[in-house]
Amino acid sequence: MMIATRTITHNKVRSILSIAGVAIAVISIVIIASLGSGLLAKGDRTFKQSTMHLWMTGKSVDLSSQYLGAGEASIDGAHELAKELRKDDRIALASPILTEIVYAFKRGEKPKQVFGIGIMGAVGTADTMVSVSAGNALTASPHYNAGRYDGNWTYEVLIDSRAAEMLNASIGDDIFVGKTLSEAEEKRFRITGITDSLSMFSSNPTIIFPLSELQDLTGNKYYDRVNMLIIRLHDPATADAVKETLEAQYPYEVSTNKEYLRKILMQNATILISATAIVALAVIMGMVLVITTMLLSLNEKKREIGILKVLGLSKGSLFTNTGLEGLIICGLGGIIGCLLSFPISRLLNYLIYRAVGFNDLVLLKAEFIYMGLLLAVVMGLVSTAVYVVGISRIQPMDLLRGT
């Protein structure tokens, strides 16, 4: 034990690098696990808060296509479809949703890209999924008129607090909005209220439009196209039965909240794989540093170990005196890594909140700390095993002869 401790303090740079390698590996696995847990908790909480029970989408649940408004995940004939769905006495609300990236700006200010959401009906009233925190709800737009888009525009929108800050706009202000910059200069909308009801679904500043007006604004009126249709049930327990009925009746996918969350995660499998690769790389690098340190230490102490072998010390005694270096290094690295995970998780949560407005996405739990410590122990045992093998291969007589 004393020899191992002396070796660590003697080779300070090498030991510090090895401890740092273990600490980085531990931090990586703890933070990635915490982030994954936070994302799952956020997704589950978001769906529960939405009060929606079923999600009807096109052939694929492709987040990028929904975000950009591409047609591959679209539903056509949305107004008539919603009307048909509401005839089912199990359905309390059927709301088509269109999402598009649009340009928005106040007169004299720089245009910004924002997330546009189109919702049917009197948006912000009690029978919709949006609640207004300040100002007034949107009135039902007459722009969609029995299959045609020739009714009057309301030219009214709701914005969330992030859009209000980005655009330097408030209730009663006029903003210009369009799919392109040139189109935006021709369409002026009045802000009637502020709502953060849909902020949980997007990390971007959001403007909420009457559905038909956003469809016209973005060219989705020709097929009455939307990205999805969300359904609220009178009785959530009937979700599976209603899902089966709708999938048999319509050529669209219908998902419960859990199924939809699972599909979203599958669409982001590349990100999950990348995160796993980062953790694996950190663990491998930490392991290589520790094993390299142990092998260098063993090489330096070959003659000393040979003498101890000649004196009759057992392998166990040799290991106790000289081979605890790896366990000590990994133990220190594990403890340091776990301790640093706390401030790092708080820092990441702050940065994520500043960047996208989401709170507590890095959800640090005790079991993740235990997992980090277990990783450090495993790394220590592996390095120790390598050291023990090295000791067993030392031939003391060869060393003492100078060969």
Q: Identify the DSSP state of 341.
A: H
Report the distance separating Cα 50 and Cα 146, nearest Å. 30
Give the model's pLDDT for residue 74: 86
Whether the per-residue pLDDT at 347 is higher than 90: the answer is yes
Q: What one-letter code names the amino acid at 41?
A: A
**Each residue of 98-120: pLDDT tens digit?**
999 999 999 888 999 999 999 88
> What's the Cα-to-Cα distance from 266 to each of 63, 134, 146, rounded to whole Å?
10, 37, 38
The pTM for the full model equals: 0.67
Q: How would residue 61 be classed by pLDDT, with cut points 50, 70 and 90? A: very low
Residues with Cβ within 8 Å of 234's Cβ and at least 6 positions away in sequence, in order, are: 89, 90, 91, 92
Most confidently predicted of 9-18, 84-93, 258-267: 84-93
Cβ(253)–Cβ(57) under 8 Å? yes
**Each residue of 229-244: pLDDT tens digit?**
989 888 888 999 999 9
> What's the Cα-to-Cα distance from 125 to each of 17, 121, 360, rounded to whole Å?
60, 9, 30
Give the model's pLDDT for residue 177: 94
> What's the Cα-to-Cα distance from 371 to each of 28, 199, 229, 284, rounded to whole Å?
11, 33, 41, 16
Give the model's pLDDT for residue 68: 43
Residue whose token pair is 């599909």: 263
Report the distance separating Cα 391 and Cα 287, nearest Å. 19
Q: What one-letter code names the amino acid at 101?
A: I
Helices (H), 55-186: 63-68, 78-85, 161-167, 181-184
Give the model's pLDDT for residue 297: 75
The mean per-residue pLDDT over the stretch 130-149 comes to: 86
Cβ(218)–Cβ(38) under 8 Å? no
**Each residue of 9-46: pLDDT tens digit?**
667 787 888 889 899 999 999 998 898 888 778 777 76
Residue whose token pair is 């009937």: 238
Q: Which segments of 83-196 are extended strands (E)?
A: 91-105, 112-119, 134-135, 156-159, 174-178, 188-194
User: Could you tell me which residues are beta bridge partners of residue 191?
Assistant: 157
User: Could you tell me which residues are beta bridge partners of residue 342?
Assistant: none
Cβ(108)–Cβ(163) under 8 Å? no
Whether the per-residue pLDDT at 285 is higher than 90: the answer is no
> What's the Cα-to-Cα distance from 370 to each of 154, 236, 277, 362, rounded to whole Å?
57, 38, 21, 16
Q: Which residue has the higher pLDDT, 83 or 45?
A: 83
